[in-house]
Amino acid sequence: MRFDEPRLCPVDLGTGLLGAGDGHYRKTFADLKGLYADEQAFSAILAERADEVAYEVTSYTPGGAVSDLIVGVTRMEPGKVGNEYFLTRGHIHARANRPEVYYGQKGHGLMQLESPDGEVRILEVGPQAICYVPPFWIHRSINVGDEDLVMMFTYPADSGQDYGIIERSGGMKVRIVDDGNGGWAQQPNPDYVPRSAATIEKLLHDAGLAA
């Protein structure tokens, strides 16, 4: 066949899952060791909920070419570890110049964005809000609501994910915590180590861009 077959993938807002996809993975709380600041609070969650799903991703990948788009949905449980809201691991795309679009469908979420040189943007993503993640921005989603957060996403199929960029910096620059009034606030991450000029230069160079 010369042309790919069009595909309809329904999103079930009850389950937060994509239908007619070909990919599905789950992250349990046990999988998320080292992600949260409050290790004691995390151990307490592990004691009760280690094998429960913290978030899951269902997707459809039509092909692996740059001209293909992966489409999918992330569903995340509501809750906190200590005073820090549940979040995804976060990453930069392995091909760092690949962008992504998120579309809020259910719940109250944040997209935490961090540029390689340490600029921080926090965007609220509720139902029917489109969030554009530009090339080179590290991104993570956070559930600051009291129900499931469901967000659709789409990105070039050859993007890949690099999780190490966050680990190498001791986490992202800020953490999102309960502000004490049921809302959220940013808190500086004391373990954060800024990326060097050489590291940033390499990111741009690897993506085929001069600094």
Residue-wise DSSP of 26-60:
EEEGGGGTT-SS-HHHHHHHHHHHTTSEEEEEEEE
Considering only the stretches 28-36, 41-49, 83-91, 109-117, report the one whose residues sit in contact with ligand S6P under the rule CB under 6 A. Answer: 83-91
The tokens for 205 are 């160079």
Contact status: 172 vs ligand S6P (CB under 6 A): no
Could you say which of Zn ion, ligand S6P, none residue 49 binds, taking C-beta under 5 to 8 angstroms by partner kind? Answer: none
The C-alpha torsion from 187 through 161 and 125 to 9, rounded to 10°, is -160
Nearest to Zn ion of 99, 126 (CB atom): 99
Could you say which of Zn ion, ligand S6P, none residue 90 binds, taking C-beta under 5 to 8 angstroms by partner kind? Answer: ligand S6P
Count of chain residues binding Zn ion (CB under 5 A): 1
Residue-wise DSSP of 106-175:
ES-EEEEEE-TT--EEEEEE-TT-EEEE-TT-EEEEEE-SSS-EEEEEEEETT--EE-HHHHHTTS-SEE
Of 74, 71, 103, the closest CA to residue 7 belongs to: 71
The partner residues of 109 in beta bridges, in order of sequence, read 125, 143
Nearest to ligand S6P of 64, 179 (CB atom): 64
Nearest to Zn ion of 54, 177 (CB atom): 54
Which positions from 71 through 100 interact with Zn ion, judged by CB under 5 A?
Answer: 100
- The least distance separating ligand S6P from the CB of residue 156, rounded to whole angstroms, comes to 9
Nearest to ligand S6P of 26, 49 (CB atom): 26
**Of positions 16, 21, 90, 109, contacts ligand S6P by CB under 6 A:** 90
Which positions from 98 through 137 interact with Zn ion, judged by CB under 5 A?
Answer: 100
Could you say which of ligand S6P, Zn ion, none residue 88 binds, taking C-beta under 5 to 8 angstroms by partner kind? Answer: ligand S6P
Instruction: Report the alpha-carbon distance of residue 96 to residue 203 in Å, rounded.
Output: 7
Could you say which of Zn ion, ligand S6P, none residue 60 binds, taking C-beta under 5 to 8 angstroms by partner kind? Answer: none
Contact status: 153 vs ligand S6P (CB under 6 A): yes
CB-CB contact of 170 with 132 (8 Å)? no
Interface with ligand S6P (CB under 6 A): 57, 72, 74, 88-91, 100, 140-141, 153, 155, 159, 161
